[in-house]
Amino acid sequence: MARAPKQPEIFDADLEHLPPDLRWREWMGRVEAVIFASAEPVGREILARVIGKSCNLDLIIDDIREELRGRPYELVSVAGGWQHRTRLAFGDAIRAAVGVSDKAVALSESESLVLTTIAYYQPITRAELSTFFGREISRDLIGRLRSVGFIASGPRSPQPGAPYTYVTTKEFLSHFGLDSLRDLPDMEALEDAGLLSKEKLLAGGIPVAGADPGTDNNVSPDLSEEEGL
């Protein structure tokens, strides 16, 4: 007589059989383990699968962060989720030991300025970017930002030809340590810190389409279909 197939065990998220203190410790361990095992920021929906319905995830996160005080890594809110990251103070030690990470992205000043503008004024078309800077923003520059995953196509603009707009991505948030776009620095604060200026945005370093591509950009994807041209 054939045996009945073994039923999968039901995952016990509520842990009602445990005393409150042990239950809380187990929830903390589960949440930290899931975050630790993931290469990407882990969102609230995923973490909710391993804790009970009565568990306050925000308090769990706070307690984990408290336990990590004094450690060389911390739990950060980034790209709509949470991730373990080494503290900035240990950056030099890490670079001395293993060099620059393969994930490091070096942007030119031109690329950084255009990316900043997209971040603050998205969704925005390439034509609008060109108008903003007073010169045409090349497809090569847009292609470079797309190739590193910092921008993607947004909704089509209600303009003649319905060109695509550009928006930043979760990869952008994760790379720059932002939880959401609300965490972008205030533009006036950036100007006061000398990191951004309207003069630089309007007149600085943006390559004109058709210019010598040997300096700033070497990516030349065909974006004509995406941009509604």
- pLDDT value, residue 218: 33
Pair (187, 115) in one structural domain: yes
Pair (126, 188) in one structural domain: yes
Amino acid identity of residue 96, one-letter, is: A
Pair (141, 63) in one structural domain: no
Domain annotation covers residue 130: yes
> How far apart are the C-alpha atoms of 13 and 69, rounded to whole Å?
27
Domain annotation covers residue 199: yes
Pair (94, 114) in one structural domain: no
Residue 151's contacts (CB-CB under 8 Å, 6 or more residues apart) are: 115, 118, 142, 145, 166, 167, 168, 169, 172
> How far apart are the C-alpha atoms of 131 and 75, rounded to whole Å?
41
Residue 24's CB is within 10 A of a number of other CB atoms, namely: 19
Residue 83 pLDDT > 80, yes or no?
yes
Pair (115, 179) in one structural domain: yes
Structure tokens at 162: 């319905």
Strand blocks (E) in the chain: 42-43, 73-78, 81-86, 151-156, 164-168
- pLDDT value, residue 113: 87
- pLDDT value, residue 194: 57
Strand, helix or coil at 103? coil
Pair (56, 87) in one structural domain: yes
Domain annotation covers residue 5: no
Pair (113, 199) in one structural domain: yes
- pLDDT value, residue 190: 64
Q: CATH code at 41?
A: 1.10.10.10
Pair (128, 176) in one structural domain: yes
Pair (190, 128) in one structural domain: yes
Pair (38, 80) in one structural domain: yes
Domain annotation covers residue 189: yes
At 29, the pLDDT band (50, 70, 90 cuts) reads: very high
Q: Residue 60: give the domain boundaries.
A: 20-98
To the nearest 10 degrees (0 to 180), the angle between helices 139-147 and 109-121 is 80
Count of structural domains, the chain: 2
Domain annotation covers residue 72: yes
Q: Between 109 and 31, whose confidence is greater?
A: 31
Lowest model confidence (mean pLDDT) among 3-7, 31-35, 179-183: 3-7
Pair (37, 118) in one structural domain: no
- pLDDT value, residue 208: 40
Q: Cα 209 vs. chain centroid, distance in angstroms?
A: 29
Domain annotation covers residue 10: no
Pair (119, 196) in one structural domain: yes
- pLDDT value, residue 228: 36
90-117: per-residue pLDDT in tens?
Answer: 888 988 888 766 566 778 888 888 998 8
Domain annotation covers residue 196: yes
- pLDDT value, residue 214: 36
The verdict on whether omega for the bond into residue 163 sits within 30 degrees of 0, i.e. cis, is: no
Domain annotation covers residue 227: no
153-203: per-residue pLDDT in tens?
Answer: 998 888 887 888 999 998 899 888 888 888 888 777 666 655 555 555 555
183-194: per-residue pLDDT in tens?
Answer: 888 777 666 655
Q: Between 132 and 63, whose confidence is greater?
A: 63
At 133, the pLDDT band (50, 70, 90 cuts) reads: confident
- pLDDT value, residue 224: 34
